[in-house]
Every structure is written in structure tokens, then in C-alpha cells.
Amino acid sequence: MLALAKVSLLVAALGHFVESHPPTHYSPWLRPRVEAHPCDGISGRNSSWHAQAEKVGVVVVGGGVAGLTTAKTLVDNSISDVLLLEAQDYLGGRVRTYRQEGVVVEEGAEWIHGGWRNPVYRIAVAIDGVDTPLPDEAFDWRVVTHEGVPTDKTRYEVVETLRDVCERSDDVLLAYYGLAYGQCFLDKFEGEYGPGYDSELGEGWLHYLEQIVNGEEGTESWLDIAAREADKYPDLGYDFQWKSGYDTLFQYYEASIPASKIKLNSPVCRILWDEGDDQVLVVTQSGTSYLASHVVVTASFGHLKERHTNIFEPPLPESFSKHFGHLDLGVSNKIQLGWTEPWWGSKPLDLDIIWTSQDVPLDRLWLYDIVNVASVHSAPNVLQMFVMGKDSKNMENLPKETVLEHVMYLLKRVTQQDVPEPDFFHRTSWYNNPWTRGAYETYITLWGDHQGLKGHDPITVPLKNSQGRQVVFWAGEHTHSTRYGTVDGALQTGEREGYRLLDLLRPGKNA
Ligand SMILES: Cc1cc2nc3c(=O)[nH]c(=O)nc-3n(C[C@H](O)[C@H](O)[C@H](O)COP(=O)(O)OP(=O)(O)OC[C@H]3O[C@@H](n4cnc5c(N)ncnc54)[C@H](O)[C@@H]3O)c2cc1C
């Protein structure tokens, strides 16, 4: 009986999957984006690269938190021959604050996960940037079906209990090693929800739960990530925010790294890492070249996974390519809408959507991925939605006006209120960005788990050239063994590689 019930739950979940993923010909917006990569023009070898190369001690590839921290660690410790090359026209990578006419929203990271144990929190306190989010009671919390019908809020306890059981209780997840993380939730949902778990409403809550988990893990489906991997992630406690934007963090870096050591708009397209004389040749998209003694690669995992065969010569060792194949970077996006007055009422809004049926027009099925609409802490007149899961990438391919039209349709339907046209509209496209190809986090897939991948450590091993010298180093959230997918994790990897290099460059040590 129990087994049958589980099967029916899975069938229901599969039904949702199929319904939300109709064949392409039904859904004109489901088009894969095939674009030339900005580095496509730089390939092979060019003799002028060597001849014209500028000599640099250490080149840091990427100016996200990991790259900035590597550079800071070196400069703070008297290694000044450092050059940071950033592909885009801004620093921060997946930390990006967007400002428009007084409205401040975050495109990427928003939360400082945890207090004193989190190094980002300690920096935020030191530069007087930290803020405590509003308590839950301050919000107008609504739980509605996607038709806008209020539904039983006490069911939220099922979500909380299951998160306690599968996320926070190590012993429980141990039994799921070798299985997908989502399996734990699927197995325990029926018992926790009780009668009605397979009703429309029960399925709606199951979908809500999955999307909350996808939002945390950054996964397209909770069946993608291995339970063993999810179990490694430590919870550092209460979440904090920044008073005036996450980019306040860059004051910390600006105080150390001279502007002359940073080059924006400088995508690194080739890294020839065994060039004799222990030199690494680094070539940017414009053909500018550098001969460096050491290179620290902090480019995002999505970019490395897609481009490593074009970038590195000789090719990366098999241990790397194997891991690149079995890790994934999730895609989550944000949509933000702002008004001069909050039309929903005087309190900040926190609206959970329990999808009880799928009668959404086919051309806007991606809306099914949205299960929450909430006021932004730093901008109370702005509502934010996360698009997580399978259709986040597809949303990116829709024109901005279409996304706006669709979310306005959703807002009117779920609030049953008269929603005025917004004055502010913004959406992210983390997958279409060729330098990120995803949002968060870089995780070992279930398939990777089955192939014996136990952690991220193998992709942190420095590359040795044919003389046995360590020449290429790796930092970035994807190289953290437990706090992958976070700003603090990225920061710690930058410190780790900075100190590894410092150790190597110590006088007397033959680097
Ligand atoms: C929507 C979203 C929400 C998030 N929420 C949170 C949160 O609340 N809390 C939290 O702690 N974390 C959060 N994160 C995760 C966090 O932002 C990242 O883990 C962290 O910023 C990663 O830093 P990084 O330096 O490893 O990588 P990145 O920030 O991706 O930096 C890599 C840099 O390398 C550059 N680059 C790539 N390729 C090249 C190349 N070939 N040449 C030169 N430069 C290159 C990129 O342009 C980029 O600037 C979120 C991320 C997103 C996208």
C-alpha cells in the first residue's frame, strides 16, 4: 500500500514535470540559445603572443569574490607583481547590486548566511555594512492557490518539518547516500502530510517544497543533486543582509588592491601552461598576452565546464575533465518589480503560491516555477520572485516585455487585486551570461556520486608543468568542499590559494 502510494506520488510529480515541459512545438519560447562565444576568435597558437607578452608575477583570472580575495591576500602580504583580469565591465561576478533611480536590488547574492562564523559577516560588521532583516511577523504573509484562493497556512509546518528532517538531521540523510537528495523529501512527504497528500492541494505543497529546496540548492530538480553532497553543506545560522547593497563588500577590496592591478573587459581565452622556463602564457580576447610565473583561475564553474577544452593547453588532466562532467552549476534567476506605492497594503508582502492545477496558458508555463513573491528588504516597494528549477533558463530567452506581461498576469491572478503597471522592472539572465553560465551552486550530481566523486578537492589541485612546478591554481565557490555556492565559500577559496602561493613564494622556497 505504502509502495503504491509512493509510486502514485512519483507519478504525480512526473505528471507535473511532463505538463510543465510540453514538446517544443507547443511552446515557441522553449528555444535553446546558440550564440558564438566571445572567445571563439582566439584559438590555437600565435607566435606574436610570446613575442609581445608582458611579464607578470601572478595573473588572477576573474574578479569575483574569489579572485579579489586572492589578489588582496597577495598584495596585503607584499606580493605586488599581481594582475587581475576580469572578463566583464564590473567587479564582483555573481555579487552584483543593481541601482536605478534610488531603487537598490541584488542581481546575485543577497544574504550573508550566518553570523560570526561567516567571514563575510565579520567584514560587513567591520565596515559597518551589516543589517538585520525584518522578522517574519513584520510581513503580510499570505498562502494562496495560483487562483488566489487563500489556503490552509498550517500546512507550511509540513515544509518546515521535512526541511528539519532531511536538511538538518545528519543521521536521516546518511540513509540516502547513493540516492538523490530529493528522495528523502519524496519518501517522507506522505507520512508528514497525512491524508490528502495525493490530492491536488497535497501535490501543490509537494511542488512548493521542491521549489524551496531547489531555491536553496540552486538545482533544476531536487533529484539532480546527490544526498551525500547536500549533506556536506554546513548551516552557519541566522541570515543577515547589507544596509546599502552587497557591493559595499568591495570597499574591503578597494582598500588593498590598487586600481592599476585590475583590468576590466579582459576575458582570458587561452592559458598555455607548459611553455618552458616555468612560464604560463595567458591570452585575452583582444590578443593581449602575459607571461606569468603563476596563474590563479577563479572563473565560474559554468564557464570552465563549457570552455576548458578551448582555454587550456595542454588539456587539463583527466581528473579535472571527469569532475567537470559530473558537477553542475544550477540556474536560478530573479525578477523584480517596483511601484511608488505598495498596492498590496502597508506591510511588506510574503506570498506563497500553492499550485493546485496546471491550467496556465501554454505560452507561460514557466510561471509554475515561481512559488513565492516577497518584498525586497532594501526596497520595500519592490516585489521579488525567484525563478528556480527547470524553466529558469527558458525564462531568460523570453523578451523582457513578455516576462513582464506574464508576471503581471501571475500577480493579478494570485492576489486577485488590481495591480498597476510597475515603474521598475528588472530580471536576471545568469545562464545566458557567457562568463557565468549559471547562478549557484556547483554541486556533485547524482550521476557523479555513482561514478565515485566524493568531493570538490580534485579540482583544487594545482597543475604542475613538465618540470614538476606548480603553475596553475584554482579558486572559486566551486572549489570549496562544503560552502560551495556561497560568497563566504568563494572568499575562503581565494584566501586558501593566496596563502598557498605565498607559501610557495617565500624567500628560500624554490617556486
Ligand atoms: C541569483 C544568485 C543568488 C545568490 N544568493 C547568494 C546568497 O544569498 N548568499 C551567498 O552567500 N551566495 C549567494 N549566491 C552565490 C554567490 O554569489 C557566489 O557563490 C559567489 O559570488 C561566487 O564567487 P566566485 O568568485 O567564485 O565566482 P564569480 O562571482 O562567478 O566570479 C568569477 C568571475 O570571473 C569572471 N570570468 C569568468 N570567465 C573569465 C575569463 N575567461 N576571463 C576573465 N574573467 C572571467 C566572471 O566575469 C566573474 O566576474 C548567489 C548567486 C546568485 C547568482
How far is CA 72 from each of CA 249, 471, 498, 502, rounded to the nearest angstrom? 13, 19, 8, 12
CA of 439 to the centre of ligand 1 (A): 7
Taking the C-alpha atoms of residue 292 and residue 218, their distance in angstroms, rounded to an integer, is: 35
Check if the beta carbon of residue 50 is closer than 8 Å to that of residue 288. no
CATH number at residue 87: 3.50.50.60
Nearest residue (CA) to ligand 1, atom 35: 62
Whether residue 111 has its Cβ less than 6 Å from ligand 1: yes
Beta strands per DSSP E along 377-504: 379-388, 424-427, 442-444, 463-464, 470-474
Domain-embedded: residue 70 = yes
User: Both 274 and 156 in a single domain?
Assistant: no
C-alpha span between 46 and 39 (Å, rounded): 15
441 residue type, one letter: E
Say whether both 208 and 150 belong to one domain: yes
Q: 260: exposed, middle or buried (C-beta count within 10 Å: 0-12, 13-18, 19+)?
A: exposed
Per DSSP, 152 falls in state: -
Please check whether residues 232 and 250 belong to one and the same domain.
no
User: For residue 461, how far is the Cα from the chain centroid?
Assistant: 23
State how far the Cα of 369 lies from the Cα of 193, in Å rounded to an integer. 22
Domain boundary among 374, 394, 427: 427
Predicted pLDDT of residue 24: 34
474 lines ligand 1 (CB under 6 A): no
Element (H, E) at 334: strand 332-338
Mark whether 73 and 199 lie in a shared domain: no
Give distance in angstroms: CA of 225 to centre of ligand 1: 20
What integer pLDDT is reported at residue 168 of this predicted model? 78
C-alpha cell at 203: 501535490
Question: Looking at residue 164, which CATH number applies to its domain?
Answer: 3.90.660.10
Identify the residue whose C-alpha is closest to ligand 1 atom 15.
486
Specify if 478 maps to a domain. Answer: yes
CA of 303 to the centre of ligand 1 (A): 11
Cα of 95 from ligand 1 centre, angstroms: 6
In-domain check, residue 124:
no
CA of 109 to the centre of ligand 1 (A): 8
Q: Is residue 41 part of a domain?
A: no
- Quote the pLDDT of residue 511: 61
The verdict on 315 and 338 lying in the same domain is no
Q: Within this chain, do residues 324 and 337 fall inside the same structural domain, yes or no?
A: no
- pLDDT per position in the chain (511 positions), as tens? 333 333 333 434 434 433 333 333 334 444 445 578 999 999 988 989 999 999 999 999 999 999 999 999 999 999 999 999 999 999 999 999 999 999 999 999 999 999 999 999 999 999 999 998 889 999 999 999 999 999 999 999 999 999 999 987 778 999 999 999 999 999 999 999 999 999 999 999 999 999 999 999 999 999 999 999 999 988 898 999 999 999 999 999 999 999 999 999 999 999 999 998 889 999 999 999 999 999 999 999 999 999 999 999 999 999 998 899 999 999 999 999 999 999 999 999 999 999 998 778 888 999 999 999 999 988 889 999 999 978 899 999 999 999 999 999 999 999 999 999 999 999 999 999 999 999 999 999 999 999 999 899 999 999 999 999 999 999 999 999 999 999 999 999 999 999 999 999 987 775 6
Of 395, 487, 488, 496, the residue with max ligand 1 atoms within 8 A of its CB, to mutate for a pocket test, comes to: 487
Rg (CA), the chain: 24
Instruction: Supply angle C-alpha 403, 404, 406, rounded to 5.
Output: 65
User: Which residue among 369, 395, 427 closes a domain?
Assistant: 427
Do residues 191 and 319 both lie within one domain?
no
Interatomic CA distance for residues 394 and 437, integer angstroms: 13
C-alpha cell at 298: 577563479
* Model pLDDT, residue 507: 77
Work out how many domains the chain is built from and give that number. Answer: 2
Cis amide prior to 441 (ω within 30 degrees): yes
Residue 277 is predicted with a pLDDT of 84
In order of 89, 217, 325, 477, 504, the CA distances from 464 in angstroms are 32, 33, 22, 22, 13
Backbone angles phi, psi at 441, to 5 degrees: -110, 170
Structural domain including 491 reads 47-93+243-328+442-505
Gap between the Cα atoms of 71 and 85, Å rounded: 11
How much is the pLDDT for 211?
96
Burial letters 172-205, b for 16+ CB under 10 A, else e: bbeebeebbbbbbbbbbbbebbeeebbeebbbbb
- Position 510 scores a pLDDT of 59
Nearest to 431 by CA among 467, 390, 459: 390
| Contact in structure between 151 and 173 (CB atoms under 8 Å) | no
Q: Kindly state whether residues 367 and 395 are assigned to the same domain.
A: yes
Q: Is residue 435 one of the residues assigned to a domain?
A: no
Pocket test for ligand 1, best of 85, 300, 303, 327 (most atoms within 8 A of CB): 300
